[in-house]
Structures are given as C-alpha cells and as structure tokens.
Amino acid sequence: MRTRFFASAALLGVVGVVALAGCGGGGSSSSGSTSASGGGSGDFASSADAACTTANKQIAALGTPKQAEVLKYMETTETVIEKLDGEVQALGATGSAEKAYTEALGKAVITLNHMTNAARNENFDAVREISDELIELNLGELAESAELTVCAEVPVSEA
C-alpha cells in the first residue's frame, strides 16, 4: 500500500516536471525569433535599445562642454559607453548584424579610453585625431542593420 503511494507520487512529480518544462520551452520559442540572415532578434533589439535609451539620455545631459570641461566630458562618456558595452555584451548577440554592432561597441570603449588619456595630457589634437577611429566604426549604421532604432540615434545635447 505504502509502495503504491510512493510510486503514484513519483509519477505525478515526473508528469509535473515534464509539464513545466513544456511550458518553459513554449515561452522560449515564442520570443526567440532570431533572423538567420543577420538582422536583429526581438529580445536583443528591445534590450539593447533600452540600454541605449539610458546611455543616450546620460550623454545628452552632458551638453556641449567648454574647453575646461572636455576632460570631465570624456571621462563621463567613457564610463557611459563602457556600461552600455557591458550590457549589450551580456545580451549575447546571435545574428551577424548584432555581432557586428557588439564588436564595434567594444572597439569604441578602447578608442574612448585613448581619447580620454589624450585629454588628460591636454593633447586636444590627439583627441580629435583619435576620434576619427570612432567615425570609422559607423556605429549608428551598424545599429540600423541590427534593427536597433534607439542605438542608431545620435544623442541630442540638452544644453
């Protein structure tokens, strides 16, 4: 009698686990519409755009710096982009366009660090020269290809 009770409970448990696993699988497949052709996936796009919304707001709030404020501006921007990079990297890009955007963002962090160092040395010619490397990344264009609407936008200065 006791044995039958345990067997029934075990069976119910197995059925329950299978049922729960089925629910999880369904949820996953409904949201994971990754484009094999290299476009954007819904989860990645919405999460990256959310991160970009925050980053763009923080950068826009910095306004246009006066000469004496350039270093502070560079340091803050570097921090914001570094955080954005961390958030986007954690999303795990799947399509080729998402990967290209993520890779370019990583490169931007390194370039921004070089620019900030040049600003620390008050070598503003170097800051400008190194920024050419940021232009060459075409990050906005890559964002568009990955169907990232907000990430493709240029932050508009509030001041």
Is 15 near other proteins (CB under 8 A)? no
- Cα(112)–Cα(133) distance, rounded to whole angstroms? 10
The Cα–Cα gap between 90 and 39 comes to: 18
Q: Compute and round to an integer the Cα radius of gyration of the chain.
A: 23
Q: What letter does residue 125 receive in the DSSP assignment? A: H
100 near other proteins, judged by CB under 8 A: no
Binding-residue pattern over the window 80 to 99 for other proteins, x denoting contact by CB under 8 A: -x--x---------------
- HEC per residue, 62-97: CCCCCHHHHHHHHHHHHHHHHHHHHHHHHHCCCCHH
Among 45, 62, 93, 97, binds other proteins (CB under 8 A): 62
Write down the least CB distance from residue 149 to other proteins, Å. Answer: 10
Which residues, numbered 17-36, are part of the site for other proteins (CB under 8 A)?
none
Q: Which two tokens stand for residue 73?
A: 């501006």
Q: Is 71 in the site for other proteins (CB under 8 A)?
A: no
Check binding of 74 to other proteins (CB under 8 A): yes
Which lies closer to other proteins via its Cβ, residue 38 or residue 140? 140
Nearest approach, Cβ of residue 47 and other proteins (Å): 15
Long-range contacts of 66-72 (CB under 8 A, 24+ apart): 70/119, 70/124, 70/127, 71/116, 71/119, 71/120
- Would you count residue 145 as binding other proteins (CB under 8 A)? no
Residues near other proteins (CB under 8 A) are 52, 55-56, 59-60, 62, 64-68, 70, 73-74, 77, 81, 84, 108, 112, 114-115, 117-118, 121-131, 134-135, 137-143, 151-157
